[in-house]
Amino acid sequence: MALLNTTGLQGGKQKIWAVGGGKGGVGKSLVTANLSICLALMGHKVIAIDLDLGGANLHTCLGVPIPDKTLSDYLAKRVLSLKELTTPTPIENLSIISGAQDDVGIANMKQMQKSKLLSKLWELDADYIILDLGAGTTANTLDFFLAAHQGILVALPEPTSIENTYRFIKSIYHRKLKMVEDFLEIGPLIDQAMNAKISQNYTPSDLIRQVTEIDQTLGSKLKMEIAKLTPKLVINQVRTQTDVDIGHSMRIICKKYFGMNLDFIGYLDYDATVWQSVKKRRPLLLEYPHSGLVNKFDQIVHRLLNI
């Protein structure tokens, strides 16, 4: 199957951020909603897109009912433009394109549909487009994550979430390298590195050394492509300093194992106001503006903006 060419996504005025993670229930929609709100409150024009087509709930986090027209209408060609799907939210400068749908099978987007959707993002009138991705490591999710200017991973400080986050990182690493035409001849070596467990001696970092020994030019190109992978990490529902330290540990392990720079950009404390705001169908930053999480989101956004 042909892989998605994402090179065309770097030329528009919009900046695309993608929020993903290896496991459901870690808070991806919460993070997407509140990053979008922070950017909008700073005066940026923002469109949040719910790409969790099998379980879309971003509209709830943003305090809006399920829109009349959603991505399923676009993919089924009932509407011709993404612009027709934008729905205003209670926050000035912030709109949403919902993925909520009733069409069976829409969650399994075809390659052509995915490519078209990505190319049409540039038609949207926005400074920032924030993608709320589905959980797991499907090809669609990985390609949307890799296509974004910023890829943000959300994890919980618990073993299953951490394990699935490493699996997600490993998957984007593998898919990224397999997308580069120059690396077709070293495909078996890439597969060998990806199939190795973290506890085994042969790692993706060893892949760079092995390829460099075979072909120095190819090794340099491989190292350059890996350097382009700089996912961001947010740890959610933190209760202790040990939970915070998990983010730093994951950064160190990713550098050692993958040769990749995982940027730990911040954490969100466990806070009961989160589920209370969801229950009320009101955005967290609006319902509880004095919550400690507001400052945390502000810090994360500033890290992402390099301010």
**Stretch 271-280: mean pLDDT:** 80
pLDDT tier for residue 100 given thresholds of 50, 70 and 90: low
Q: Are residues 139 and 183 in the same domain?
A: no
Q: Are residues 177 and 142 in the same domain?
A: no
CB 259 within 8 A of CB 204: yes
CB 172 within 8 A of CB 148: no
pLDDT single digits (tens) 252-271? 999 988 888 999 999 999 98
pLDDT tier for residue 122 given thresholds of 50, 70 and 90: confident
Q: Which domain holds residue 68?
A: 13-155+271-307
pLDDT tier for residue 101 given thresholds of 50, 70 and 90: low
What burial class does residue 281 get, using C-beta atoms within 10 Å of its C-beta: 0-12 exposed, 13-18 middle, 19+ buried?
middle
Q: Are residues 220 and 139 in the same domain?
A: no
pLDDT tier for residue 235 given thresholds of 50, 70 and 90: very high
CB 45 within 8 A of CB 126: yes
Question: Which residue, among 144, 127, 66, 59, has the nearest Cα to 101 in the 3D structure?
Answer: 66
Q: How far is CA 247 from the centre of its chain?
A: 17
Does residue 133 lie within any of the structural domains?
yes
Q: Are residues 132 and 151 in the same domain?
A: yes
Residue 196 confidence (pLDDT) = 65
The winner for highest mean pLDDT among 31-45, 62-76, 170-184 is 31-45
pLDDT single digits (tens) 132-142? 998 888 888 99
Instruction: Report how far apart, in Å, the C-alpha atoms of 84 and of each of 68, 71, 96, 243 are.
Output: 10, 10, 11, 43
**Stretch 165-170: mean pLDDT:** 92
Residue 5 confidence (pLDDT) = 41
The per-residue pLDDT of the chain, averaged, comes to: 85
Q: Are residues 120 and 204 in the same domain?
A: no
What the block records as the tokens of 188 is 């078996």
Q: Are residues 150 and 192 in the same domain?
A: no
Q: Which residue's entry shows tokens 């073993």? A: 159
